[in-house]
């Protein structure tokens, strides 16, 4: 059997062997509960503290501003539900292209009568800053705009939005799950809350973090023990925390070279696909975008069918549509960008990783070109 080609790094990334090694040694040697007062507990606390430093360093934050969670979904829920609980009458502004961890949480808050506004998006996949600015008022309790979109990879104008929010004293959150570890994410002078996830940056699954700026507050999402100042209780998942810390440290060291590598290959991929498939559609800005993302459509070739055929050819990729009551629905991200549903249903997302090779890219180009040529 020929080797598989993994083109779905936005879904999850393979764990870095160095991360696995750290986790293995922590899991086998550090069994103390990080809350215990004796030596074993203190050793475990040191591991948590070190990982907190590593995560903070990636974001240019302070260690005490980092809370470990079970992943991006929990971090997102904590912020949206926490703000809604704190100010039930305050309006929450979220972009129309958020991941379901924000989108569905915001919808659930709206059902509970919390005012929520979904902000429009431009055709290039970036949030419409003018519309956002017009929606800012004293009644707004939170603005949440993702750092980079998970379907198109489009980088959002976070600096611009953050300065609008800061000028008005409005708290801002960003779901940076896709961006962290791939592009520079700096919380200084930008956001007040930020979500990240271990498994998107070659770390473990089921672990993530929430950055909360000093001076900002959130009620806990979970109630329990006094861990993490009682704000995120539960016995610390020591090996996962250590793994997340290591993954952040590695990502910080190698970020630029990894990004440059992915960008060269993505450009090769795009050029090759365009040459072989003249009617190829590309979604979202190509300049303000994560280096490893290419969201495209071969018009008339449904993504479900293309993905199945790619899988048979040894290529793993994904689409943006969701199955709802047995029928396919176009992605809410592409719909918000004004893409016609019939074309949106053809979208496939190819996401490269740090270890993607030129040979893999060339194979993807030739397989996709051949499949496009077989269209009825
Ligand atoms: N936010 C974004 C933008 C994501 O891409 C994902 C995962 O796909 C999540 C949140 C959820 O993160 P996790 O899988 O760690 O819960």
Domain range annotation of the chain: 5-14+255-373, 17-251
Ligand 1 pocket residue status of 171, Cβ below 6 Å:
no
Ligand 1 pocket residue status of 146, Cβ below 6 Å:
yes
Segment 54-81 shows an average pLDDT of 98
Distance between CA atoms of 207 and 198, rounded to whole angstroms?
A: 6
Distance between CA atoms of 165 and 91, rounded to whole angstroms?
A: 13
Which among 317, 54, 320 has a CA at the least distance from the CA of 207? 54
CATH of domain 5-14+255-373: 3.90.1150.10
Task: Compute the distance from residue 129 Cα to the ligand 1 centre, in Å.
Answer: 24
Predicted confidence at residue 2, as pLDDT, reads 58
- Cα angle vertex 264, ends 263, 267, to 5°? 85
Segment 23-49 shows an average pLDDT of 95
Is 248 tagged catalytic?
no
- Helix, strand or coil, per DSSP, at residue 269: helix
**Nearest-atom index, ligand 1, CA of 146:** 3
CATH topology match: 5-14+255-373 vs 17-251: no
Predicted confidence at residue 168, as pLDDT, reads 97
Could you give the percent of the chain with pLDDT greater than 70? 99
Task: Compute the distance from residue 254 Cα to the ligand 1 centre, in Å.
Answer: 22
pLDDT bucket at 255, cuts 50 / 70 / 90: very high
**Nearest-atom index, ligand 1, CA of 73:** 16
Check: CB of residue 34 under 8 Å from CB of residue 227. Answer: yes
Chain center to CA of 24: 26
pLDDT of residue 144 exceeding 60? yes
Helix (H) or strand (E) holding 62: none
Q: What is the DSSP string of 275-310?
A: HH-TT-EE-S-SSSB-TTEEEEE-TTS-HHHHHHHH
Check: CB of residue 132 under 8 Å from CB of residue 164. Answer: yes
Predicted confidence at residue 318, as pLDDT, reads 96
**Nearest-atom index, ligand 1, CA of 74:** 16
pLDDT of residue 169 exceeding 60? yes
Could you give the percent of the chain with pLDDT greater than 90? 96
Work out the mean pLDDT of the chain and round it to a whole number: 97
Check: CB of residue 111 under 8 Å from CB of residue 139. Answer: no
- Widest pairwise Cα distance in the chain: 71
Task: Compute the distance from residue 200 Cα to the ligand 1 centre, in Å.
Answer: 8
Check: CB of residue 223 under 8 Å from CB of residue 233. Answer: yes
pLDDT of residue 327 exceeding 90? no
pLDDT of residue 1 exceeding 60? no
What are all long-range contacts of 25-32, with beta carbons under 8 Å and residues at least 24 apart?
A: 26/238, 26/239, 26/242, 26/243, 27/238, 27/239, 30/238, 30/239
Task: Compute the distance from residue 39 Cα to the ligand 1 centre, in Å.
Answer: 36
Ligand 1 pocket residue status of 175, Cβ below 6 Å:
yes
CATH class label, 17-251:
alpha beta
pLDDT bucket at 375, cuts 50 / 70 / 90: confident
Segment 82-89 shows an average pLDDT of 97
Distance between CA atoms of 317 and 11, rounded to whole angstroms?
A: 9
């Amino acid at each position: 059997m020929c080797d598989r080609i993994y083109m779905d790094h936005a879904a999850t990334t393979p764990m870095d062997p160095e991360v696995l090694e750290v986790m293995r040694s922590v899991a086998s040697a550090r069994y103390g509960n990080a809350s215990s007062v004796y030596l074993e507990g203190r050793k475990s606390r040191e591991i948590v503290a070190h990982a907190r430093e590593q995560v903070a360093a990636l974001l240019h934050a302070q260690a005490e501003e980092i809370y470990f969670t079970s992943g991006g979904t929990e971090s997102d829920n904590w912020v949206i539900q926490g703000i809604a609980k704190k100010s039930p009458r305050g309006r929450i502004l979220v972009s129309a292209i958020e991941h379901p961890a924000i989108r569905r949480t915001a919808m659930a808050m709206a059902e509970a009568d919390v005012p929520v506004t979904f902000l429009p998006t431009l055709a290039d996949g970036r949030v419409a800053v003018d519309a956002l600015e017009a929606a800012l008022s004293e009644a707004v309790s939170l603005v949440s705009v993702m750092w980079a979109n998970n379907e198109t990879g489009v980088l959002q104008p976070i600096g611009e939005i953050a300065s609008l929010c800061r000028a008005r004293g409005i708290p801002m959150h960003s779901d940076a799950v896709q961006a962290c570890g791939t592009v520079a994410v700096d919380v200084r002078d930008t956001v007040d809350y930020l979500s990240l996830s271990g498994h998107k940056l070659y770390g473990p699954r089921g672990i993530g973090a929430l950055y909360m700026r000093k001076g900002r507050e959130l009620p806990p999402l979970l109630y329990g023990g006094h861990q993490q100042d009682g704000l995120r209780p539960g016995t610390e998942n020591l090996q996962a925390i250590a793994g997340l810390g290591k993954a952040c440290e590695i990502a910080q060291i190698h970020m630029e070279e990894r990004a440059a590598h992915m960008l060269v290959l993505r450009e090769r991929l795009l050029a090759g696909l365009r040459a072989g498939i003249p009617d190829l559609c590309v979604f979202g800005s190509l300049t303000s975008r994560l280096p490893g993302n290419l969201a495209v459509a071969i018009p008339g070739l449904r993504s479900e069918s293309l993905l199945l055929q790619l899988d048979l050819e040894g290529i793993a990729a994904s689409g943006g549509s969701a199955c709802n009551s047995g029928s396919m629905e176009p992605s809410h991200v592409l719909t918000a960008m004004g893409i016609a549903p019939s074309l949106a249903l053809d979208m496939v997302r190819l996401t490269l990783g740090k270890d993607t090779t030129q040979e893999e890219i060339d194979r993807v180009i030739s397989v996709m070109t051949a499949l496009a040529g077989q269209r009825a």
